[in-house]
Amino acid sequence: MEKILIFGHKSPDTDSVVSAYVLANLEQKLGKNVEACRLGNLNKETKYVFDYLNLEAPTLIKEVEEKQPVILVDHNEFPQSVDGIQKASIMKVVDHHRIKEFETEEPLYYRAEPLGCTCSIIYKLYQENQVEITKEIAILMLSAIISDTLLFKSPTCTPEDKEIASKLQEIAGIDIEKYGLEMLKAGTDLSDSTAEDLIKLDAKEVMIGNFKAQIAQVNTASIPDVMKRQAELEVAIENMIQERELALFVLAITDIINSNSQVIALGEKADIVEKAYQVKLENHTALLEGIVSRKKQILPVLSSAAQ
């Protein structure tokens, strides 16, 4: 049986990498020939998690061959997936995002739930298949839930995510607040990232209405620290707009302590941001109070403003 590759989205975040890892572990326990992969370098937050557990990260891949069997986690939209996805054979998807820019030739297993984290869904798959969750797997899943929900503070976090996290905590035996804050803080160290790195760290290419956009996000404990670099960030963003022929690029600089985002918006459709949030972009930037979730508070809001 040909090996099935499991991976999350490009510009991988903790949920994307960990979901591939823990779903591969489950599939292997069920006798499947699978390999966990990732589509980019680990960010510092994810590196913190794998270093903490002294684990090797999933295999880096850039593209897949025609007919390669694959399982997608934490994404479904082809523009966010591996190069060659159109010709791959998608066996399964486990995801918690909107469904768009996705189609297959063959029937597949598709598991979508509107939870705060893909790992919360994978937790349920472990239960359904009666596969034991080890301490290591529990810490991995908890890390992904903490990351995606910003320590349960994001509006994407559901009561079910919290319930699952507390069950995982019993197995993991760690102090969630202490571990979680340290993990999130590790991800905010952007000191040695170039402006180009920074805008690609957690970027998603999406269709908003009928135009192509990228929404990137960086977490920080201090918005002014990141805004000091606005000029060089704008140069990098303008280059990306040219390279990818984007009508809009939004960089959300998210304060994980106070739950606000400062956005920098560039591109011919930048005024959509003003319309969507009733703010004025001054020098291409505005503060969006209480906005932390790209999935729930940015993407749908921009999409409806574009209509």
Length of the chain: 307
| Least distance from Mg ion to the Cβ atom of residue 277, Å | 20
Share in percent of the chain as helix, strand, coil (round to 5) = 40, 20, 35
Least Å distance between CB 187 and Mg ion? 10
- Give the binding-site size for Mg ion (rule: CB under 5 A): 6
* CB of residue 106 to Mg ion, shortest distance in Å: 25
**In contact, 5 and 28? CB cutoff 8 Å:** no
x/- mask, Mg ion, residues 55-84, rule CB under 5 A, reads: -------------------x----------
Q: Which is nearer to Mg ion, 162 or 275 (CB)?
A: 162
Q: Does 27 bind Mg ion (CB under 5 A)?
A: no
Q: Does position 13 bind Mg ion by CB under 5 A?
A: yes
Cβ neighbors of 197 (< 8 A, separation 6 or more) are none
Q: What is the CA radius of gyration of the chain?
A: 19
Tokens at 16, concatenated: 């994307």
Minimum gap (Å) between residue 231 Cβ and Mg ion: 26
Nearest approach, Cβ of residue 73 and Mg ion (Å): 9
Q: Could you give the C-alpha distances from 18 to 45, 73, 101, 151, 174, in angstroms and in order?
A: 12, 10, 24, 16, 18
Q: In this chain, which stretch among 9-17, 169-177, 187-195, 241-249 interacts with Mg ion, using CB under 5 A?
A: 9-17
Q: Binding Mg ion by CB under 5 A: which of 45, 148, 205, 255?
A: 148
By CB under 5 A, the residues from 170 to 209 that bind Mg ion are none
CA distance 199 to 250: 9
Query: Which pair of tokens denotes residue 173?
Result: 């035996």
Which amino acid, one-letter code, is at 38?
A: R
Among 11, 15, 48, 306, binds Mg ion (CB under 5 A): 15
What residue type is assigned to position 51 of the chain? D
Residues contributing to the site for Mg ion (CB under 5 A): 13, 15-16, 74, 118, 148
